Amino acid sequence: MAFFDRWVLTIILFWPLLASIWVLMLPKEKEDQIRRVSIWMSVVPLVLSALLFVDYGARFLPRGGGIHYDVQVTWIPQLRASYHIGADALSVPLIFLTALLTTLSLYYSARVIKHRVKEYFFLFLLLETGMFGVFMALDLVLFYVFWEVGLVPMFFLIGIWGHENRMYASLKFFLYTLVGSVAMLLAFLALYFHAGTFDIVQLAEKRPFADDIFKASLVFFGIFLGLAIKVPSWPFHTWLPDAHTEAPTAGSVILAGILLKLGAYGFLRILLPILPTAFAYWGFLMVILGVISIVYGAFVCMAQTDLKRLIAYSSVSHMGYVMLGLGAAGVALSGKVVPLSPDSAALAMDGAMLQMFNHGIITGALFFLVGILYERAHTRDLTAFGGLSGKLPYYYGIFMVAGFASLGLPGLAGFWSEFFVFRGAFDIVRVWAAIGVIGVVVTAGYILWRIVANVFLGEFNEERWGDKLWDMEGYEKATLWPLVLIMFILGLYPTPLVNFFNQAAVELLTKAGFMFH
Amino acid sequence: MVLKVVFLLISLFTVGSAFMVVTHRNLFSSALFLVASFFGVAALYVLLEATFLAVAQVLIYVGAIATLIVFAIMLTRGMMSGRTSPRNDQAVWAGLSSVVLGLVLLYVVVYRVRWPVVEKPVPPDTIERLGSALVGPYVIPFEIASVLLLAALIGAVLIAREREI
Amino acid sequence: MFDTSTFIRLLPELILLVTALVVIFVDLYARRRTALGLLPGLSIVGLALSFLAVFAQWGTREVVAQTLAADTFAAFFKMVAAVAVILVVLASVRYMRARTRYVGEFYAFLLVATLAVYIAVSARDLITLYLGLETLSIVSYVLTGFLRDDKRSNEAAIKYFLYGAVASAIMLYGFSLLYGVTGTTDLQEIARRLLNGDVLVNMEWLAWPAIVLVTVGFAFKASLVPFHQWAPDAYEGAPTPVTMFLSTVSKATGFAVMARMFLVAMPALQSSWTALLYGLAVLTMTLGNLIALRQTSVKRMLAYSSIAHAGFILMGLVAVTTALGQPFNGLDGVLMYVVAYAFTNAGAFAVVAAVEDGTGGATLDHFAGLVGRAPFLAAAMLIFLLSLAGVPPLAGFAAKLFVFAPVVRQEYYVLAVVALINAVLAAGYYLKVVKQMFFVEEPERAPFAVARSMRWALWLMIIAVFGVGIFMNWFAFMASQGAAGMLGL
Amino acid sequence: MVPLSWYLTVAALLFVLGLYGVLSRRNAVAILMGVELMLNAVNINLIAFWRYTRPDNVAGLVFAIIVLTVAAAEAAVGLALFIALYRLRETVNVDEIDLLKG
Amino acid sequence: MDTLLVLIPALPFLAFITIVLVTNHDKKLSASLTIGATAISWLLGWYFAFRALLHPEHYASHPMRWEVPWFPGGHSVFVTGFQVDVLTAAMLFMVPFLCLLIFIYSLGYMEGDPRFSRFFAYLALFATGMLGFILADNMLLAFIFWELMGVCSYLLIGFWSFRKPGETHIDHAQVVRARNASLKAFITTRVGDTVMLAGMVLLYAMTGSLRWSEVLSHETLEMLAHKVTTVPIFGAAPWATVLAILIFWGAIGKSAQFPLHVWLPDAMEGPTPVSALIHAATMVSAGVYLIIRTFPLFHIVEGYNGAMWFVAFIGTFTAFFAATIGVAQFDIKRVLAYSTISQLGYMFAALGIGAYVAAAFHLIMHAFFKALLFLGSGSVIHAMHHGHHVVHEHGHHEDLGGLEFNPNDMRFMGGLLKKMPITGWTFIAGGLSLAAFPVVTAGFWSKDEILAEAWHNGHFWVFWTLAIAAFLTAFYTGRQIFMTFFGEPRTEAAKHAHESPKTMTYPLIILAFFAIAGGWVGIPETFPVLGHIGRGWFQSVIATQAEAFHIHVEHIPFNPTPALISMAMALGGLAVAWLIYGTRPLGFEDPLERPLNGLWTVLHNKYWIDELYQNTIIAFAKWLSVTLYKFDDVWVIDPFVDGVGRFGRWLAFTTRRFIDEQIIDRLVNLTAWVSNLLGEWFRQIQTGQVQNYLLAILLTVAVLLLLGVV
């Protein structure tokens, strides 16, 4: 057990890197071997992260959570920066999500990517290490390193395997994110100078700038910019539609499924614990941005004719719930609003965290589905279709499940995040939450009115599509079933996940000085 | 007083020659004025009781540099003819800003700053001191200077040599 | 005053000098084919030995022959220079062989230039300092114009020469004023006299002009805007290995000299030179990046990028704290940046050289679809460009971390924001090259091979770029020691 | 005795004149002459300072000698470059060489 | 034993899963699975229902329950489960039973449909939703099932919303109508649901729980009634009122009350069994059930009670409003749809005036007779369709007065009683019940009770409005019966119609029994003579439940005035209908069309509410979305840069490099553009002339020195 505790995270973290190096050393003609190696290698972190989930749930969750499996090795002693990784109730599910989506993406890509195979799998595995790193890092320098490591492969994934406008999209993605990350780096340095360490755990104890709200705010906004661009919160979202639309299918899946979560994760891992006063002070701003994201994103979706772009904008809307939940918790933390129920702050955060996970699953599935259709039709124009429900019933069924989950239908995973977020937010920022509710209605509108009505209902265009469209194949089903199953299971019984996230939320809030009565 | 008059004359000569250097249309004349100016500077050194430097000035500048320049003018023949303007398009701007810079320098360096002047005679053994300084505390610059000269010569030869192919 | 210990202290310089002479002699007397194979090897051996000699004396802090300082600061730069020149030599083997007959002289000049760098970075006297810089300059002019039958090379050399001559004359004027007010050429002594009350009264008027005039010379070496204009032309026209040298070693020397001059001789005037350097830093990074955005030649683009990087390096000096013992004091940022940048930029130019060898040019178009034609070069270029963009875990990130930090510490928010914007601008045009190499596909162009020595050089630099980034601690340690060793001699 | 400031004035004038020459002449050799004037101005400064402030310390003289030497070396290399330029392009007018720009 | 509660919703769900995953290809097996599962659920349901109904005193306050912890939230744990109290039991009596009957009916109705199995899967899923909803012991779980029903409704309304290649029996117009109807249904109800969600989360926040037993406990309610909040625009109000109104919006959507009623008539595009089940008997009445369930929350505020007033207003208005529209419709199902809306309005009106028991009673009774009517109309449509098909095959083409044939259109029917007697008579039974034909029908007893309560409690506006609505109800019911079953067949299709198969007619007969006799369990004790038969059993049972909720149920004495008015209205309506439609042969034009003229147009066009929404809210939403998107697009890509980009794209055909540069130009939009512009400017400085560079040095130095001097 001690061995497991000490090494599991490191192995999960660097296994994909090893795999990527292995791939790099294979000759590029042996495409099948490259595919096999990548997929099977990526199963290892998946299994380990599942084990991690179970193990944490069994051993630590009942005993009050906390950071475990931590490893700390001095890295830059002069700066007191170290290789410090660990996992708590917040990161364990996200690590699992990362591993799962990566494996599915690799499996799906193995069939779809036929061009520059070696580079593709190399980059994808590298990307996985970057994402794991962010979820594990407990040191700001390390966090930043992995944050950026994830950036580059995605840049290439979009730029090489993307669609027509891929160069523009990839550049935009990279530069946008870079703006944020450099600002974040500056803020990290400010934290360091105030507290003398880069260690997230220690910083959370020292709480730099606790008494100087002006400076705390400066630092806060430095980090905020980096995170909000990644989330992306309105008005920093404009890179996202392009990047998502142009990325290859698996790239969009990872982008939406994991990379956006990195931003939200940063809020919880860095901003809230280290700068609780600023987080509370600016909580209201986050609420407003979140609500704008929700409503704005949803309305913009209604105007789309590009299927993938629509899903992309829906991500803006859905990540708005995360912001709303976090912001509401911040407002509660500030004490300016006393919620009726002491649990509201925690519930809002539960909702935000759940939304992180669920959005990963649901939007991941939706992007896979869009990709499947695109592979056949080579167009994303949703008005070009019609009546596919008769021609592709299986596809229709799966899409409906994912679509309904996305619009927050009770009984599917997406509902819980909305419910929790609104449960928390309604108690804390009533009016804004009420405005946010509009987004829920509009979401139903764009999923059904834009997508389902245009693509699946109506008449099938026999001349144009004839035999060009066929129903899902085995590997496509295999890619989507795990996600659909998770949607169902979490929809009916979200308990395992909520157990984790609620633990994390309570812990974070307590440490940030929130008083549960 | 005499010294002052002498100084004024020398410096007028020097500066005047220098002025001709930078304004004369004919390049060869410019070169001659340059030599004149160098001599004037050497005379100023004498006034400053730095005779060794005066000699060195004459030897190096007049003997070496000016000769080099003349050589170069000859090698790049045809350039002393005044067919085209010797001045480029920005001459006016250059003049104006040079005047501004000159005024500022004079204002600061000559007018504003009180230099820590000491009334001391020049020690008679200055040349010995200079010699021992060059192999004493300043041996490194001295050696480097020789390396520099060697390198510059090889480089100059390398670059200026006629094409062999 | 000359004893064995002095010779031991001067061993690195002597090794270089001897090697240079040996190279010239071998070139004179050996048969051409033997010489071609032998010369780079000899030079590398000499440089490596000299590197070891420096390294062996790491940690000393003493005055050598009155005008040189054997301290860790100088040693740091010497080691960077030695390693960088080794890389330059490796990268130039095929390149120079194809372009000139005077290979022996080329390596000898490189060695002499290195020697000049050694002198300049350790000079603690205005005279030595001037001479070191000037030697470096003159040798650099020759190196730049080395391809004498190439119009561009010649033009570059002439511009460099004229610019350098004027800049150094202006600097000299500044030196003369400093000498006039303090009556000494010893840096330490200057500092001491500047603290003297009478002198200070005079300095009230003289400080700013002296600083401005002196800075012109250093800024020229370090190619800071607006004293940078020679650089793009010279970088573009010079033989690419020379550009490697100019953009790394020569530039680093400028910073070393500037740091020593300001920190050792003028600590009393810190507020003045900080203000000046602040302005220069902002101008340098912004202008460099903006112009780089518009370039179509990769070589020229990198030239502008290296100008912009000078601005970043300068941030370290702007925000320097005199408490040199602590991490993130600013000076260690300069050192970190210099070392990271040396490998990275040298690498990028090396790739440019290789691409020129393979395709005959270095415009963006020549880089199109490079990944299909020379995947190793493309990958190497990618790594270097990412490092230049400051992406972790590469060297460039470590460098950025160490120069951003002091700026944040000193709370120069404007500078920080400018730097932030510039980091992004820079990434913009680096990605342009990446895009050309990876996203554009040119199946009809033939693959080409890379010289073995170039491969070696690139591998070394890739390893170094990763090494500096990942084992930042070791380099940070060296840098902080280097920084701490400078004062007090 | 002649005041120091007189020497300084002459030096400053020479310096500025040299600079003007550098900036305004088209011919490369003429530009080089301007540079030499500037260096001479510096030397006047150095020697004047030596004479008036520290006649017993020869540092100023040493500096002047070094400057002289460097000037010679510089002139050699510069002229060599000009000759090469002339050979390549049949001109030594500096404002005509602008292959490298932008 | 209480654990078996889980099975009631779980069995149909299992059937759904099995059909979708396994037996989709086997129609018979799929149908039997659904019907079998529902049958077991029905038996189980009745077991629990009767257990509760027979011992109301106990189970009203101590429901049978099964529960599990669900998830933690902050420091508390949310427990979920199923429960059966008396109120649930009443529903549990009705719901599975009706489901079963309608499923059996569907066997015949859907025969030959290519997606027969899928239909039964959806039905099973719906059964899950409805059963789960009534059984849920907390609002959250109830909400989940509530939405599940919404999905099923959506899926089933849109069941014919697409055409498979080669599928010919569905025409294009119908595909489009079905598609739009399904979307409209889902999104309209979603509006209400979302408001309700807001209410629910607020309730949760206020009380820390969503369990019925905890939320509706007296202490909690007292707290909610006394805490006051400020609502924007409306001013101060007790929390209870605010929450109640928010929750009521869910019911407005689901039960198709004004102003969210527009979806229900369109929902008739779905197959008729769906209309019967979902859009008449169960799902739409779930809204009423929800309000009955949460009635204590509505009721708790003393003095001026905004929530009750609101419910009463909406209910009464809708009852009247929908009835007027029903008068002027030709589609047999649409008439019923409006009647459903109207009847649901009755129930809400009843709740609004505090007639808790009456509302529940009418809910159950209405479910039976309205299901019957729908199934009957389905049978008629089935027959008409068949008849039309036969006629069509024989090549007859007849003049329909310039109208398109539509099997639903009553104008094309007539005299069907002879052709299909079982359908006819059962339909008439249902119709009479709906019209509240005095004494014998179930509808009379339930409706009468509402009117009596309104009269008794002095809500005269409510009373008279409802009374007029009752008249209208009787009138349009009569109109429907006369147009459909009496007179002579007006088309060939009607002539060739014949009776439906047994799977369809048997359920009709069973339902007809309940439509008539069902009401007898609720004859008020005080009613003259008949009161002794039923002894108000139903009322007393439900009253027990109400008492458990601290709601006082008044045993109102018999008052002949409202009873007589009620009877008069019902009989009057039928009589007028007979006068207009029953006494002379009808053409393709409605006899009222001319005399009413403008009013007819208004009614026939449903007051143009649809058009109103289309041109206001929906138009606004579309405009907003397009505008925002443009804003997004325009904002991201500066118009100028965009123009440059377009120009570049045009040039791309000649040179690829150009477009590359253009793309780079658009790098970071405006910023990039500005940077590039600046870059270009600065690039100009680099003239290539070394003396220019040197002048730059000089200028810099001069300026810097001047700065020092000044």
Q: Are C138 and D74 a contacting pair at CB < 8 A?
A: yes
Distance CA E335, CA E434 (A): 12
Average pLDDT over residues E324-332: 85
Q: Mind telling me how many Å the CA of A171 is from chain E's nearest CA? A: 7
Q: Are A178 and C405 a contacting pair at CB < 8 A?
A: no
Q: Are C328 and A193 a contacting pair at CB < 8 A?
A: yes
Task: Quote the pLDDT of residue B67.
Answer: 81
Q: Comparing A305 with C242, which gets the higher pLDDT?
A: C242
Task: Quote the pLDDT of residue E665.
Answer: 38
State pTM to two decimals.
Answer: 0.88
What is the Cβ-side half-sphere exposure of residue B30, based on CA atoms within 13 angstroms? 29
**Which of C158, C162, C291 lies at the smallest CB-CB distance from E682?**
C291
Nearest residue in chain E measured CA to CA from D22 = E691
Q: Is the pLDDT score of C372 beyond 90?
A: no
Q: Are E709 and B107 a contacting pair at CB < 8 A?
A: yes
Q: Are E698 and B107 a contacting pair at CB < 8 A?
A: no
Task: Quote the pLDDT of residue A269.
Answer: 92
Nearest residue in chain C measured CA to CA from E704 = C212
Distance CA A326, CA A351 (A): 9
Q: Is the pLDDT score of C80 beyond 70?
A: yes
Instruction: Kindly list the distances between the CA atom of residue E622 and the CA atoms of A436, A454, E261, E504, in Å, as whole numbers in the listed order.
Output: 18, 16, 21, 44
Q: Which residues of D touch E686 (CB under 8 A)?
A: 101-102
Q: Are A79 and C390 a contacting pair at CB < 8 A?
A: no
Q: Is the pLDDT score of E637 beyond 80?
A: no
Neighbours of chain D (3+ CB pairs under 8 A): B, C, E
Q: Is residue D40 part of a domain?
A: yes
Q: Which residues of A touch E624 (CB under 8 A)?
A: 299
Distance CA E363, CA E589 (A): 35
Distance CA E59, CA E580 (A): 51
Question: Is-contact E453 E353, C-beta < 8 A?
Answer: yes
Task: Quote the pLDDT of residue B81.
Answer: 52
Q: Which residues of E touch C291 (CB under 8 A)?
A: 679, 682-683, 686
Which of A473-477, C96-100, C163-167 has the highest mean predicted lDDT (pLDDT)?
C163-167
| E597 interfaces chain D, CB cutoff of 8 Å | no
Task: Quote the pLDDT of residue E635.
Answer: 58
Task: Quote the pLDDT of residue E690.
Answer: 86
Domains contained in chain C, number: 1
Task: Quote the pLDDT of residue C216.
Answer: 93
For C292-324, how does the pLDDT look when each residue is reduced to its tens digit (9 = 90+)?
A: 888 888 999 999 999 999 999 999 999 988 777
Using a CB–CB cut-off of 8 Å, the residues of E that contact C are 657, 660, 664, 667-668, 672, 675-676, 678-680, 682-683, 685-686, 688, 690-694, 696-697, 700-701, 704-705, 707-708
In chain A, what are the domain boundaries? Answer: 282-517
Q: ∠ CA A430-A435-A439 to the nearest 5 degrees? A: 130
Q: Which of C371, C382, C420 to mutate to test the interface with A (most CBs of A within 10 A)?
A: C420
Q: Are C391 and A190 a contacting pair at CB < 8 A?
A: no
What is the Cβ-side half-sphere exposure of residue E693, based on CA atoms within 13 angstroms? 35
Q: ∠ CA E316-E318-E322 to the nearest 5 degrees? A: 130
Q: Is residue D49 part of a domain?
A: yes
Q: Are C159 and E700 a contacting pair at CB < 8 A?
A: no
Q: Is the pLDDT score of C133 beyond 90?
A: yes
Distance CA E257, CA E320 (A): 11
For E204-249, how does the pLDDT look when each residue is reduced to its tens digit (9 = 90+)?
A: 888 888 888 888 888 888 888 888 887 777 778 888 888 899 999 9
**Which of E686, E690, E691 lies at the smallest CB-CB distance from D102?**
E686
Distance CA E425, CA E485 (A): 9
Task: Show the low-confidence residues of chain A (pLDDT under 50).
Answer: none
Which of A278-292, C362-376, E182-196, E621-635 is predicted with the least confidence, judged by mean pLDDT?
E621-635
For E61-84, how does the pLDDT look when each residue is reduced to its tens digit (9 = 90+)?
A: 888 888 888 888 888 888 889 988
Q: Mind telling me how many Å the CA of E652 is from chain D's nearest CA? A: 25
Q: Is E110 helix (H, G, I), strand (E, B) or coil?
A: coil
Task: Quote the pLDDT of residue A484.
Answer: 93
For E509-546, how does the pLDDT look when each residue is reduced to its tens digit (9 = 90+)?
A: 888 888 888 778 777 777 776 767 666 778 888 888 88
Q: Mind telling me how many Å the CA of C138 is from chain D's nearest CA? A: 7
Task: Quote the pLDDT of residue B65.
Answer: 79
For E539-595, how does the pLDDT look when each residue is reduced to its tens digit (9 = 90+)?
A: 888 888 888 888 777 777 778 888 888 888 888 888 888 888 878 777 777 777 777
For B106-127, how does the pLDDT look when each residue is reduced to its tens digit (9 = 90+)?
A: 988 888 888 888 888 888 888 8
Q: Mind telling me how many Å the CA of E679 is from chain B's nearest CA? A: 24
Which of A78-82, C21-25, C242-246, D11-15 is predicted with the least confidence, judged by mean pLDDT?
A78-82
Q: Which of A126, A165, A185, A229 to mutate to test the interface with C (most CBs of C within 10 A)?
A: A185
Using a CB–CB cut-off of 8 Å, the residues of D that contact E are 19, 22-24, 31, 94-95, 97-102
Query: Domain range spanning residue C199?
Result: 4-487
Neighbours of chain B (3+ CB pairs under 8 A): C, D, E
Q: Which residues of E touch D101 (CB under 8 A)?
A: 686-689
Q: Is the pLDDT score of E660 beyond 60?
A: no
Q: Is the pLDDT score of E658 beyond 70?
A: no
Q: Is the pLDDT score of E169 beyond 70?
A: no
Q: Comparing A204 with B69, which gets the higher pLDDT?
A: A204
Which of D84-98, E5-19, E162-176 is predicted with the least confidence, judged by mean pLDDT?
E162-176
Q: Is residue D74 part of a domain?
A: yes
**Which of D15, D67, D77 lies at the smallest CB-CB distance from C142?**
D77
| B8 interfaces chain C, CB cutoff of 8 Å | no
Q: Are C212 and E672 a contacting pair at CB < 8 A?
A: no
Distance CA A130, CA A138 (A): 14
Find all residues with CB under 8 Å of E73, minimum gap 6, and list them: A343, A346, A347, A350, A420, A423, A498, A502
Which of B130-134, E451-455, E495-499 is predicted with the least confidence, judged by mean pLDDT?
E495-499
Question: Is-contact A365 A249, C-beta < 8 A?
Answer: no
Query: Domain range spanning residue D49?
Result: 4-89
Which of A129-138, A225-234, E167-176, E375-384 is predicted with the least confidence, judged by mean pLDDT?
E167-176
Top CATH class, B1-81: mainly alpha
Q: Are D99 and E687 a contacting pair at CB < 8 A?
A: no
The amino acid present at A221, given as its one-letter code, is F
Find all residues with CB under 8 Å of E409, minimum gap 6, and list them: E330, E331, E332, E403
Nearest residue in chain E measured CA to CA from A409 = E147
Q: Mind telling me how many Å the CA of D78 is from chain E's nearest CA? A: 14
Distance CA C180, CA C209 (A): 13
Task: Quote the pLDDT of residue E640.
Answer: 47
In chain B, what are the domain boundaries? Answer: 1-81, 126-165
User: In this structure, what are the phi and psi dihedrals at residue A116, rounded to the nearest 5 degrees?
Assistant: 50, 55
Q: Which residues of C touch A218 (CB under 8 A)?
A: 413
Residue tagged 């129920």 (tokens): A341
Task: Quote the pLDDT of residue E659.
Answer: 33
Q: Is the pLDDT score of E628 beyond 80?
A: no
Q: Is the pLDDT score of E647 beyond 60?
A: no
Task: Quote the pLDDT of residue A291.
Answer: 93
Task: Quote the pLDDT of residue E641.
Answer: 44
Which of A361-370, E199-208, E269-278 has the highest mean predicted lDDT (pLDDT)?
A361-370
Q: What is the mean pLDDT of chain E?
A: 81
Q: Which of C205, C211, C212, C229 to mutate to test the interface with B (most CBs of B within 10 A)?
A: C205
Cβ-based contacts under 8 A for chains B and E: 29
In this structure, what DSSP letter does residue A84 have?
E
Instruction: State the ipTM, two decimals.
Output: 0.87
Task: Quote the pLDDT of residue A329.
Answer: 92
Which of C461-470, D38-47, E490-499 is predicted with the least confidence, judged by mean pLDDT?
E490-499
Q: Mind telling me how many Å the CA of D23 is from chain E's nearest CA? A: 6
Domains contained in chain D, number: 1
**Which of A78, A151, A178 lies at the smallest CB-CB distance from C476?**
A78
Task: Quote the pLDDT of residue E648.
Answer: 41
Nearest residue in chain C measured CA to CA from A74 = C473
**Which of D23, D97, D102 lies at the smallest CB-CB distance from E698?**
D23
Q: Are E672 and C294 a contacting pair at CB < 8 A?
A: no
Question: Is-contact A157 A127, C-beta < 8 A?
Answer: yes
Task: Quote the pLDDT of residue A274.
Answer: 92
Q: Are C287 and E682 a contacting pair at CB < 8 A?
A: yes
Q: Comparing D100 with A126, which gets the higher pLDDT?
A: A126
**Which of A75, A119, A190 lies at the smallest CB-CB distance from C473?**
A75
Q: Mind telling me how many Å the CA of A493 is from chain E's nearest CA? A: 7
For C408-438, how does the pLDDT look when each residue is reduced to its tens digit (9 = 90+)?
A: 888 898 999 899 888 888 888 898 899 888 8
Average pLDDT over residues D41-61: 90
Neighbours of chain C (3+ CB pairs under 8 A): A, B, D, E
